[in-house]
Amino acid sequence: MKLTIFSYQLLKPRLVERIASFIKYMNKEKIVVGYCRSACAKDSDDTRVYEQKKLVEQFAKKRNLNIKDFYIDNGVGGMTLDRPSFKRLLQDCRDGKIKAIIMRDIDRIARNSILIGNALDIFKQNNIKLYFVLPEDLKFHLVVSKARNEVLNKLMI
């Protein structure tokens, strides 16, 4: 089928309708959440967690997604999945309360590829979409990390 300007104009309202419908679906109660983790500090106003949260909020805002909750683990390293907020996040995924998670980078899940794989399996089993923020304006964010996130985004979404 050849797409003409006329047929595009007929299809455009449907596309806009589908996008609006998707946004409504994602914004239902307890659907989109953010996850932040920092091993450095235990106080609630940790700068690293604050920066992660800010990036996640900006990412969601650009995509018209409303974050219903944040799961934050302060002062807990990424070499374990036994973190209070992360365990609650996984349980809420299993309970069907979450449809999408936004986080800064995949290393917020864990610093070990086996643990990351275990968590990704849980997310996949529960049809959870993962979004990784790519803070291109931050100097510490390496090109390698960006490329890894792009590949993961293609695999997970």
**The residue count for the chain:** 157
Radius of gyration of the chain (CA): 17
- The residue type of 146 is K
Lay out the sheet containing 100-103: strands in order across. Answer: 69-74, 32-38, 100-103, 129-132
Q: How far is residue 50 from each of residues 4, 70, 91, 102, measured CA to CA in Å? A: 48, 11, 24, 14
Q: At what angle do helices 143-156 and 113-125 cross, to 10 degrees?
A: 30
Q: Which of the pair, 2 or 116, is modelled with greater confidence? A: 116
Q: Look at the pTM and tell me if it is higher than 0.75.
A: no
Q: How does pLDDT run across 2-23, given as a tens digit for each residue?
A: 444 555 555 667 767 777 776 6
Q: How far is residue 113 from each of residues 5, 76, 80, 120, 134, measured CA to CA in Å? A: 48, 17, 11, 10, 20
Q: How does pLDDT run across 121-157, given as a tens digit for each residue?
A: 999 999 999 998 875 544 444 444 555 566 566 555 4
Report the topology of domain 29-156: Rossmann fold (3.40.50)
Enumerate the domain spans of the chain: 29-156
